[in-house]
Structures are given as structure tokens and as C-alpha cells.
């Protein structure tokens, strides 16, 4: 891991254009749909919470990939 990578990961990257905003939204919408499906189809409990948390983490990591441009 390089200093450049760390600098990039811990820097705010505002959306550059409408296409980037749309990509973020598409990922959030898909994650929300999956989280709602998990919530509707599974019993309340630690496993349900963990599953939804992992979806949230996946959405956040995917959006970070966009923001950091794969670097």
C-alpha cells in the first residue's frame, strides 16, 4: 500500500458530473432493493442485521470505487 493510495482513499471526491451522480444512485437503488428484500424475507435478528449491514458496506465500497476511479 502506498502513501498515494492512502491519500486517495481518505480524500473527499465530489461527483464530477451528472453521469457519476447517476452511477452512485444506481448502486444505492440496487442496494436498497436488496436490503428491503432481505428485511421482508428474513426474521428479525442478528443475521438479518448483518446481511443488511453487508449490503450497506458493499454499496459504500462500490461508490468509493467510483469516487477513487479504481485507484
pLDDT digit string, tens, across residues 30-45: 999 999 999 999 999 9
Q: For 14-34, how does the pLDDT look when each residue is reduced to its tens digit (9 = 90+)? A: 888 999 999 999 999 999 999
Whether the predicted pLDDT of 2 surpasses 90: no
Does the pTM of the predicted model rise above 0.85?
no
Average pLDDT in the 56-70 region? 92
What size, in residues, is the chain?
A: 71
With cut-offs at 50, 70 and 90, classify the pLDDT of residue 61: very high
State the number of CA atoms in the 13 A half-sphere of 61 facing the CB. Answer: 6
User: Is residue 13 a contact partner of residue 68, using CB atoms and an 8 Å limit?
Assistant: yes
Helix, coil or strand: residue 52: helix
Locate 18 and state its grid cell. Answer: 451528472
Amino acid at each position: 500500500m502506498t502513501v498515494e493510495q492512502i491519500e486517495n482513499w481518505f480524500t473527499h471526491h465530489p461527483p464530477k458530473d451528472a453521469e457519476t451522480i447517476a452511477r452512485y444512485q444506481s448502486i444505492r437503488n440496487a442496494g436498497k432493493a436488496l436490503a428491503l428484500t432481505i428485511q421482508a424475507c428474513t426474521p428479525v435478528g442478528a443475521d438479518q442485521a448483518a446481511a443488511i449491514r453487508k449490503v450497506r458496506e458493499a454499496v459504500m465500497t462500490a461508490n468509493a470505487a467510483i469516487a477513487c476511479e479504481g485507484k
